[in-house]
């Protein structure tokens, strides 16, 4: 298929064709001119859904599909993790109820993302596609402690991942709203898991999560001393691969050092670096999300997850 | 309107008004009238439909001011919690002392931050009235009591905040602002989840499982139930003085 002849032909019957493509306008301006090499390099990633959207069929941009399928992959990871954990015989009654609710939420999120993605959604990978030991780093179903440690890792990772994908969804308001409304639910999950990990609502959390992250607050504090399983969780609280994805101990928002910018709310409470880091959760870029999540994929990765 | 972010996504803030000034007194006396501010209300306008009300504005500035208004109220609430008998009687090593200390700090941080980002486009300091509806000496709402206890009030503000951020964010047009509000909303959700768990442990049966009950997370879609800016302000206005009523007629 000669793409450039295609666009040239289209332009003959539809003078407005270039205006219909709502992304990368400058790419199309260069079609058939000296910018061909650039346009040619950029086109393949844009073609999926491009014509459909331009001519009225409901479709999502390639970027949006990528972000949503990454989210969907994470939701499957969580869903199968919780399903497995709930039948492992390690949880007490209260935890069983809580994690059943969490599992139901993840199930709903899978459904929501599949509905948006339609035929562009990845296939259901099935539980066997995952290795919940992350290559032998942990035995999550051996006891509640290990189960909760990985749960915290997955939920905090999920919050960072959704947050990292939000700006890609800016142009698609309906999809953005769904992503926001899933993102905050994951944050609720994360808070509950952290509360359980420190010993419940009656136990005070420590700045930075305490030694070995044994006393995590319900919010992310500094780098959590690298989390409950450093070989796995250091990256979850650390920086991503982009400037927009700093580590969780970041204090600068929009070039403002938020600690310096603020004052004690009273009662002699100091405005600590820990508090300043806790008040803002950080995003994680898609590349880093994939790198971390890939650890949970079973050998062989027959489904091509997180690549 | 100050355009804080350039097209390339690099944040280039306009010079901040009095950047070095600490905001402590600003919030301590948030309940006082006649705030000595000379800020130009560039993003705001008098709402003719509701005499005396101020509209938060439209676009990015409207959304940011909407968020700022919410954070002003939350910061004032938690600052007041710190002075009431519920908090002052807590052992400093206790979980709830730690929790409410953090909540107060976080909301102060949020309000101060939004105020700084908005700069000369910031909404005025609001007259906030919490005592009519909240009893800061009580942890829970006593049966038959006319005022909310601290925990129920905190839960109300936090759940409202999550619904508000989620309902307003899609009116933003600038990616950098969306990310900033995204960084805040997940923290509010963590706050809400914990306070709900505290309440369930104290016998509250209206919050379902707690951290993510059906009153905040839709039981079919399993997604947060977001609220429109107008509906959020209808609730927030009950905590604002007559001279500080707000509308969001452009955020629709």
Nearest-CA distance from A219 to chain B in Å? 6
C-alpha to C-alpha distance for A155 and B210, rounded to whole angstroms: 17
Task: State in Å, rounded, how far the first CA of chain A is from the last one.
Answer: 28
Task: Say yes or no to pLDDT of B3 above 50.
Answer: no
C-alpha to C-alpha distance for A303 and A126, rounded to whole angstroms: 9
Who among B104, B201, B223 is closest to A269 (CB)? B104
User: Does residue A84 lie in a domain region?
Assistant: yes
A252 interfacial to chain B (CB closer than 8 Å) = no
pLDDT tens-digit series, residues A199-235: 999 999 999 999 999 999 999 999 999 999 999 999 9
In A184-213, the residues whose Cβ lies within 8 Å of chain B are: 184-192, 195, 201-205
Higher pLDDT, B23 or B183: B183
Backbone φ and ψ for B15, nearest 5 degrees, come out as: -55, 130
In what side-by-side order are the strands of the sheet with B246-247? B45-46, B54-55, B246-247
pLDDT recorded at residue A52: 42
Query: Do A21 and A105 belong to one domain?
Result: no
Query: Do A49 and A139 belong to one domain?
Result: no
The enclosing H or E element of A252 equals strand A252-253
C-alpha to C-alpha distance for B37 and B19, rounded to whole angstroms: 14
User: Does residue B8 lie in a domain region?
Assistant: no
Query: Do A161 and A78 belong to one domain?
Result: yes
| pTM for this predicted structure | 0.84
The position carrying tokens 């951290």 is B211
User: Does residue B30 lie in a domain region?
Assistant: no
A109 interfacial to chain B (CB closer than 8 Å) = yes
The model's confidence at residue A248, banded by pLDDT at 50, 70 and 90, is very high
Contact B157, B164 (CB under 8 A): no
pLDDT recorded at residue B29: 43
Q: Residues of A161-188 as b/e, b for ≥16 C-beta within 10 angstroms?
A: bbbbbbbbbbebeebbbbbbbbbbbbbb
A98 interfacial to chain B (CB closer than 8 Å) = yes
User: Does residue A155 lie in a domain region?
Assistant: yes
The model's confidence at residue B51, banded by pLDDT at 50, 70 and 90, is confident
Query: Do A10 and A105 belong to one domain?
Result: no
Query: Do A39 and A138 belong to one domain?
Result: no
The count of other CB atoms within 10 Å of the CB of residue A291 is 15
Q: How far is CA A186 from the centre of its chain?
A: 10
Contact B178 A170 (CB under 8 A): yes
pLDDT tens-digit series, residues A104-157: 999 999 999 999 999 999 999 999 999 999 999 999 999 999 999 999 999 999
pLDDT recorded at residue A16: 54
Who among A185, A279, A283 is closest to B212 (CB)? A185
User: Does residue A147 lie in a domain region?
Assistant: yes
Query: Do A31 and A177 belong to one domain?
Result: no
Query: Do A47 and A67 belong to one domain?
Result: no
Backbone φ and ψ for B41, nearest 5 degrees, come out as: -85, 65
pLDDT tens-digit series, residues A6-52: 556 556 555 555 555 544 444 444 444 444 444 444 444 444 444 44
For β-strands B54-55 and B246-247, DSSP reports them as parallel
Contact B189 A166 (CB under 8 A): no
User: Does residue A123 lie in a domain region?
Assistant: yes
CATH number at residue A152: 1.20.1260
User: Does residue A218 lie in a domain region?
Assistant: yes
Query: Do A202 and A108 belong to one domain?
Result: yes
CATH number at residue B188: 1.20.1260.10
Contact B72, A234 (CB under 8 A): no
Q: Percent of chain B scored above 70 by pLDDT?
A: 80
How many domains does one find in chain A?
A: 2
Chain B neighbors of A276, CB-CB under 8 A: 109
Full domain range(s) for residue B116:
41-50+57-247
pLDDT tens-digit series, residues B181-235: 999 999 999 999 999 999 999 999 999 999 999 999 999 999 999 999 999 999 9
Contact B155, B199 (CB under 8 A): yes
pLDDT recorded at residue B196: 99
Contact B222 A278 (CB under 8 A): no
How many domains does one find in chain B?
A: 1
- Give the CA distances from residue B203 to residues A184, A199, B146, B192, in Å, rounded to whole numbers and listed in that order: 25, 19, 19, 17
Nearest-CA distance from B78 to chain A in Å? 8
Nearest-CA distance from A280 to chain B in Å? 5
For β-strands A256-257 and B45-46, DSSP reports them as unpaired
Mean pLDDT across the stretch B115-126?
97
User: Does residue A46 lie in a domain region?
Assistant: yes
**For residues B228, B234, B237 and B239, what is the CA-based torsion angle, rounded to 10 degrees?**
-100
> Helix, strand, coil: what percent of chain A each, to 5?
60, 0, 40
Q: Is B128 helix (H, G, I), strand (E, B) or coil?
A: strand
Query: Do A29 and A158 belong to one domain?
Result: no
User: Does residue B106 lie in a domain region?
Assistant: yes
User: Does residue B19 lie in a domain region?
Assistant: no
ipTM of the complex: 0.84
Higher pLDDT, B77 or B36: B77
Higher pLDDT, B211 or B36: B211
Q: How far is CA A234 from the centre of its chain?
A: 16
C-alpha to C-alpha distance for A120 and A68, rounded to whole angstroms: 10
- Give the CA distances from residue B118 to residues A44, B43, B56, B201, B240, in Å, rounded to whole numbers and listed in that order: 40, 9, 12, 39, 21
User: Does residue B82 lie in a domain region?
Assistant: yes
pLDDT recorded at residue A59: 79
Backbone φ and ψ for B134, nearest 5 degrees, come out as: -125, 135
* Nearest Cα to Cα of residue B197 among A221, A213, A191: A191
DSSP conformational letter for A125: -
Nearest-CA distance from B51 to chain A in Å? 32
User: Does residue A115 lie in a domain region?
Assistant: yes
Nearest-CA distance from B108 to chain A in Å? 6
Contact B83 A267 (CB under 8 A): yes
Contact A191 B101 (CB under 8 A): no
Chain B neighbors of A244, CB-CB under 8 A: 179
Full domain range(s) for residue A194:
62-244+281-296
User: Does residue A223 lie in a domain region?
Assistant: yes
DSSP conformational letter for B136: T
Q: How far is CA A209 from the centre of its chain?
A: 22
User: Does residue B78 lie in a domain region?
Assistant: yes
pLDDT recorded at residue A18: 52
The mean of the pLDDT values for chain B is 87
Query: Do A25 and A138 belong to one domain?
Result: no
Query: Do A41 and A142 belong to one domain?
Result: no
Contact A62, A48 (CB under 8 A): yes
pLDDT tens-digit series, residues B98-111: 999 999 999 999 99
pLDDT tens-digit series, residues A254-291: 999 999 999 999 999 999 999 999 999 999 999 999 99
A102 interfacial to chain B (CB closer than 8 Å) = yes
C-alpha to C-alpha distance for A141 and A81, rounded to whole angstroms: 9
Task: State in Å, rounded, how far the first CA of chain B is from the last one.
Answer: 20
Query: Do A79 and A155 belong to one domain?
Result: yes
- Give the CA distances from residue B232 to residues A6, A60, B58, B67, B192, in Å, rounded to whole numbers and listed in that order: 50, 31, 16, 10, 16
């Amino acid at each position: 298929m000669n793409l450039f002849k295609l666009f040239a032909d289209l332009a003959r019957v539809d003078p407005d064709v270039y205006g219909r493509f709502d992304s990368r306008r400058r790419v199309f301006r260069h079609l058939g001119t000296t910018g061909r090499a650039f346009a040619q390099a950029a086109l393949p990633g844009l073609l999926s859904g491009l014509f459909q959207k331009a001519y009225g069929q409901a479709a999502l941009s390639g970027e949006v599909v990528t972000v949503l399928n990454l989210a969907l992959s994470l939701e499957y990871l969580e869903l199968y993790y919780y399903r497995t954990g709930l039948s492992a015989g390690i949880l007490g009654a209260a935890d069983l109820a809580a994690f059943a609710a969490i599992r139901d939420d993840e199930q709903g999120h899978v459904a929501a993302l599949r509905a948006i993605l339609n035929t562009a959604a990845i296939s259901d990978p099935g539980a066997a596609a995952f290795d919940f030991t992350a290559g032998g780093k942990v035995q999550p179903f051996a006891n509640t402690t290990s189960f909760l440690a990985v749960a915290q890792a997955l939920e905090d990772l999920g919050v960072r991942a959704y947050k990292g994908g939000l700006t890609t969804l800016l142009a698609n308001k309906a999809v953005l709203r769904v992503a926001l409304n899933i993102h905050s639910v994951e944050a609720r999950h994360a808070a509950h898991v952290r509360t359980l990990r420190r010993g419940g609502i009656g136990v005070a959390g420590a700045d930075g999560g305490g030694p070995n992250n044994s006393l995590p607050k319900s919010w992310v504090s500094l780098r959590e001393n690298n989390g409950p399983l450093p070989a796995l969780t250091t990256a979850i609280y650390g920086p991503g691969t982009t400037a927009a994805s700093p580590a969780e101990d970041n204090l600068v928002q929009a070039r403002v050092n938020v600690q310096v910018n603020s004052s004690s709310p009273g009662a002699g409470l100091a405005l600590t670096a820990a508090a300043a880091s806790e008040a803002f959760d950080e995003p994680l870029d898609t590349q880093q999300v994939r790198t971390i999540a890939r650890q949970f994929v079973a050998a062989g990765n027959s489904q091509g997850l997180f690549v | 309107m100050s355009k804080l972010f350039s097209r390339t996504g690099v944040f280039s803030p306009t010079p901040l008004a009095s950047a070095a000034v600490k905001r402590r007194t600003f919030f301590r006396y948030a309940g006082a009238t006649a705030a000595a501010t000379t800020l130009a209300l560039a993003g705001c306008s008098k709402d003719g439909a509701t005499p005396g009300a101020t509209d938060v504005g439209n676009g990015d500035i409207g959304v940011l001011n909407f968020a700022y208004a919410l954070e002003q109220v939350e910061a004032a609430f938690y600052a007041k919690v710190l002075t009431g008998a519920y908090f002052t009687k807590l052992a400093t090593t206790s979980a709830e002392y730690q929790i409410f200390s953090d909540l107060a700090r976080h909301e102060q941080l949020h309000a101060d931050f939004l105020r700084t980002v908005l700069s000369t486009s910031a909404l005025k300091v609001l007259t906030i009235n919490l005592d009519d509806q909240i009893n800061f000496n009580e942890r829970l709402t006593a049966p038959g009591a006319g005022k909310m206890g601290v925990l129920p009030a905190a839960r109300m503000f936090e759940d409202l905040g999550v619904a508000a951020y989620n309902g307003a964010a899609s009116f933003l047009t600038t990616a950098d602002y969306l990310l900033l509000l995204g960084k805040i909303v997940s923290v509010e959700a963590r706050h809400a989840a914990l306070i709900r768990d505290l309440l369930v442990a104290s016998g509250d049966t209206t919050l379902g499982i707690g951290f993510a009950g059906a009153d905040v997370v839709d039981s079919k879609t399993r997604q947060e139930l977001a609220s429109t800016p107008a509906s959020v302000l209808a609730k927030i206005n009950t905590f604002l003085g007559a001279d500080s009523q707000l509308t969001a007629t452009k955020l629709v």
